[in-house]
Amino acid sequence: MDRAQLADFLRTRRARLTPPDVGLPYGERRRTPGLRREEVARLAGMSVDYYVRLEQGRGPRPSRQILNSLGRALLLTTDERAHLFHLAGETPAPAAGPRTDVPDGVLGLLDALTDVPAYVLDAKYDIVALNPLASLVMGALDHLPPPGDRNVIRWIFGSPELRAHLKDEETGRFARTSVMDLRAAAARYPDDKGIQDLVVEMLALSPQFARLWAEHDVEIRRDQRKRLRHPLVGDIDVLCQVLHVPDRDQRVVFYAPRNAAAAAKLRELTRCAPANLKG
């Protein structure tokens, strides 16, 4: 625990806030530019004396509950909250569950990739956004889960063609890494009912999932080569690139063409897509 740095950090975060920022009246005779120490203590649900000692670098090591309370009281961002935990010698507590709200910048990226299929997965492997070309390509390949239940894990291991899929080297590797990635997510979100229920469902539904789950391998999904066999344009060689969105624990997945022929085929599919196609 770095008491001096923790004290400095708390002081600077307190100084940048005003009472209206946290729903308090401004009041009169305010000499401090930010919140008063007693205001932060009240917002965090702790004694004023305890908070004062933290700011003076002489307080005891704060518990995770205290750190979470300070994070809420001081309106810390995800990065600032992680830094607060680091200064106190703790690792940040996991979020309550996977986030499904996709950042505007990522949605803009999907729209801009007109000739590249792209979609966004959350930590549970739900498809939470996709661009028109991804909808066209994945729909034609029967790789797109139905609307309302766009969970890739459930699609893979609930498919009647599962055995054939798993015999394919690329699909088999994708299935294995997806289970490894889901296990890592289950560890990050031990209290999330959605992830835990999905695991229970898949263990009961699929012996193949159960076998992979029992191996206890953990791995975050990364890039891999794929060959998409599309009924209109034939084989498309792509590199499945994965970009991580750390503050949402999401992955942007896009199929980048590996050669000029693949790029030409994706452009041809773009021309085939209806103008009003939506993901």
**Domains, the chain, ordered by start:** 3-87 (1.10.260.40), 104-272 (3.30.450.180)
The amino acid at 12: T
Instruction: Tell me the pLDDT tens digit for each residue of 252-262.
Output: 998 999 999 99
Give the model's confidence band at 222: pLDDT under 50 very low, under 70 low, under 90 confident, else very high. Answer: low
Q: What is the pTM of this model?
A: 0.63
Residue 276's pLDDT is 40
Give, for 241, the enclosing helix (H) or strand (E). Answer: strand 234-245
The residue with greater pLDDT, 121 or 26, is 121
From 66, 113, 116, 156, select the one nearest 255 (Cα to Cα): 116
Burial class (CB in 10 A: 0-12, 13-18, 19+), 65: exposed
- Per-residue pLDDT of 18-60, as tens digits, reads 888 888 777 667 676 788 888 889 988 889 999 999 988 887 8
Span 239-250, average pLDDT: 86
Amino acid residing at 249: D
Residue 239 has pLDDT above 60, yes or no: yes
Q: How far apart, in Å, are the Cα atoms of 72 and each of 21, 183, 267?
A: 12, 29, 48
CA 198 to chain centre: 17
**How much is the pLDDT for 263?**
92
CA distance 144 to 156: 10
Structure tokens at 78: 């995800």
